[in-house]
Structure 1
Amino acid sequence: MKISIGLVTQSNLLRTYFTQYRHKIVPQEIFSRDYFRNVGVTFSVRVLPPTGRIKVAELDGWLKRLAQDSDGVIIFVDDHHRNCFSQFDDAYFIVDIPTGHEGVTQNFVHKLVTITLRQFEALSKNFDEFRTHKMLLLPLDVFSANELRQLRLRLTTNKMSSGLGFDLQQLLSQIGQRERPKSGGRYRTRYLVDDRGFWYHYGKEVHKRVATGVPPHRINCWHNSRFRFGRRYDELRHFNVDNDSDPTKVTGTFQDCHGSQISVKSASHLGIFPNGHQ
């Protein structure tokens, strides 16, 4: 597993430290943890050069370079730049740099990185298991369920709060209670069913391609089509969505990856990618 660590900050001291000591940013104890040792983890560090106000195209390009060939992406961001990254919270593991610390010390950096990687490990253990992997990839603005909304909040705004592993276990267990086969024994396939009565199955077929061109798409559509909460996923796979009728018939309004509402009437099924593209 290759994890890319990015740094975006106004602090010259912190940028200099991450640049000069990029090979020592991650404490050695991390490599001895069972999970990271078993996945053969490697790390790379990239620092966004200081430019004052970050332009959208510059940020997009830097993030794509950071994500290239990476299985995981963690980004440390200071208060000055945090708003620029809010649109990428669903895609990457974005961590706020604590304020109020005195200077830049090895202890400060190692503590920040160690805590972050422990949280990232809790996510990754669930991301690596297929049953919970597909739950973590459910279209966040399409699949209607309070548990999924709570999961999204826990892995974005509240990702650094303690007890992440336990909370993920509880929330994913609740989502798992929505998994069932269709009635009448028609299929052995198990589906995840949302509050609107739509049935979701994470398909193996790769005949569709997710579109991300700007416009009509937004900059974050590309990033959300490949990463979820900091982990890369297969951008070729999508969810097959229908209902429990025979034959299946889907009617409703669905939000796509860039916020548009798409109305569907009497379709046999829909193919929806994790980022919401249809």
Structure 2
Amino acid sequence: MSLIIAFVTGATAVLETITHKRAALLPNEIRANGFAALDGIEPVVTAFDTNRSKNLNDLLQWLDWRNASGVILLADDSLPDLVAYLGDQFNVHRFTPPAYGTRMDNQLTSTLSKCLKAYKYLASRFADAKYQQIFRLPLRNFDAPDIARMRELCRDMTQRNYGNEIDALLRDMRKRQAPKRASDYQDIYYVDDSGKHFQFGHEHHALADTAMPPHNALCIIGNCLRFGQRFDGTTHYNVSRDKGASMKGTYLDCHGSCRLHQKHSHINMFTNNFF
């Protein structure tokens, strides 16, 4: 698998430069020693021409996300809804196309350098199991203001002090963990403001539905990529309440629709909110 880095732009000069330069635009520190900075994973630098289509579904069909270890999107203003629409699944950054007459390749390399540094930092946290189960929480069903904060921090990361802010978020989220000392207990869960307990399960007895229809591409992508990081979509969360209280009720599914859970028992809920 490769790391896909896709510019989403209608700027002709940017499109031409990427077509001719591609991987040569990557910073030297990334290309050195067989891409050692990325653990040997070679990035694929490409571009989607928004002059040909401004349809986000066309972008998803074009993007080779199924074969990617990670996905970084760098988008200009030609697809204004992209960050909001795809920011939970991919590592999305806004960029301003360099003006004509500038050293286009140098400017793009500088942009790539900043985005890759941010991506690497997030990847290092995501690879840690105790943090990954925070990043992977079902965003529609974990009721807490920290979720909105996490979604904001993991989008357009180069515009903020992402390292300090992400680490502060993770510290705050771990205050929701019970029991408090993970090393002493096998069953660790995170408690939202509605009293729901989200325990990351390592069992594989349930699988998220992938039939299209009724599901769409975002349902599928949302259960294998979060903030541009690939994860094992065969694992899920066991969602329950304290003292075995009933879980019967309505919850948001992977389409964003309310769906009834008719049993009193816990819910098997996946990262994309499918249950």
TM-score (normalizing by structure 2): 0.88
Q: How does 1:178-217 map to 2 (within 5 A)?
A: 178-181=176-179, 188-217=186-215
- 1:51 shift after superposition: 5.0
Q: How does 1:243-254 map to 2 (within 5 A)?
A: 243-245=241-243, 247-254=244-251
Instruction: Supply the distance in 1 between the matched residues of 2:8 and 2:160 (Cα, whole angstroms).
Output: 24
Do the aligned partners of 1:5 and 1:45 also contact (CA within 8 Å) in 2? Answer: yes
- 1:266 shift after superposition: 4.9
Letter in 2 for 1:54: K
- What residue ranges of structure 1 are gaps of 5+ in the alignment? none
The equivalent residue for 1:93 is: 91
Q: Residues 178-228 of structure 1: CA distance to partner in whole angstroms, max 9, x if unpaired?
A: 11139xxxx741111111111111111122222244443343212212110
Residue 119 of structure 2 aligns to a residue whose secondary structure is helix
Do the aligned partners of 2:248 and 2:265 also contact (CA within 8 Å) in 1? Answer: no
Matched residue pairs, number? 269
The equivalent residue for 1:121 is: 120
Letter in 1 for 2:148: R
The equivalent residue for 2:79 is: 81
Deviates more, 1:2-11 or 1:119-128: 2-11
Q: Residues 108-150 of structure 1: CA distance to partner in whole angstroms, max 9, x if unpaired?
A: 0111001111111121111010000110000111111111221
Deviates more, 1:209-218 or 1:18-27: 209-218
Instruction: Supply the distance in 1 between the matched residues of 2:45 and 2:31 (Cα, whole angstroms).
Output: 16
- 1:85 shift after superposition: 5.6
Do the aligned partners of 1:200 and 1:240 also contact (CA within 8 Å) in 2? Answer: yes
Q: How does 1:1-278 map to 2 (within 5 A)?
A: 2-31=2-31, 37=37, 39-49=39-49, 51-63=51-63, 65=64, 67-84=65-82, 86-99=84-97, 101-103=99-101, 105-156=104-155, 158-181=156-179, 188-245=186-243, 247-264=244-261, 266-278=263-275
Instruction: Supply the distance in 2 between the matched residues of 1:56 and 1:22 (Cα, whole angstroms).
Output: 23
Q: Residues 36-71 of structure 1: CA distance to partner in whole angstroms, max 9, x if unpaired?
A: 5372231112222565333455322112x2x13211
Residue 16 of structure 1 aligns to a residue whose secondary structure is helix
Instruction: Supply the distance in 2 between the matched residues of 1:267 and 1:39 (Cα, whole angstroms).
Output: 45
Q: Residues 141-171 of structure 1: CA distance to partner in whole angstroms, max 9, x if unpaired?
A: 1111111221111112x42223101111100
Do the aligned partners of 1:31 and 1:41 also contact (CA within 8 Å) in 2? Answer: no
Deviates more, 1:123-132 or 1:203-212: 203-212
- 1:255 shift after superposition: 0.9
Do the aligned partners of 2:13 and 2:100 also contact (CA within 8 Å) in 1? Answer: no
Do the aligned partners of 2:249 and 2:260 also contact (CA within 8 Å) in 1? Answer: yes
Letter in 2 for 1:260: S
Deviates more, 1:223-232 or 1:83-92: 83-92
Letter in 1 for 2:61: G
Instruction: Supply the distance in 2 between the matched residues of 1:68 and 1:250 (Cα, whole angstroms).
Output: 34
Letter in 1 for 2:154: L
- What residue ranges of structure 2 are gaps of 5+ in the alignment? none
Do the aligned partners of 2:238 and 2:266 also contact (CA within 8 Å) in 1? Answer: yes
Residue 82 of structure 1 aligns to a residue whose secondary structure is coil
Q: Residues 61-101 of structure 1: CA distance to partner in whole angstroms, max 9, x if unpaired?
A: 112x2x13211111122211232563211100122221563
Do the aligned partners of 1:87 and 1:220 also contact (CA within 8 Å) in 2? Answer: no
Deviates more, 1:198-207 or 1:129-138: 198-207
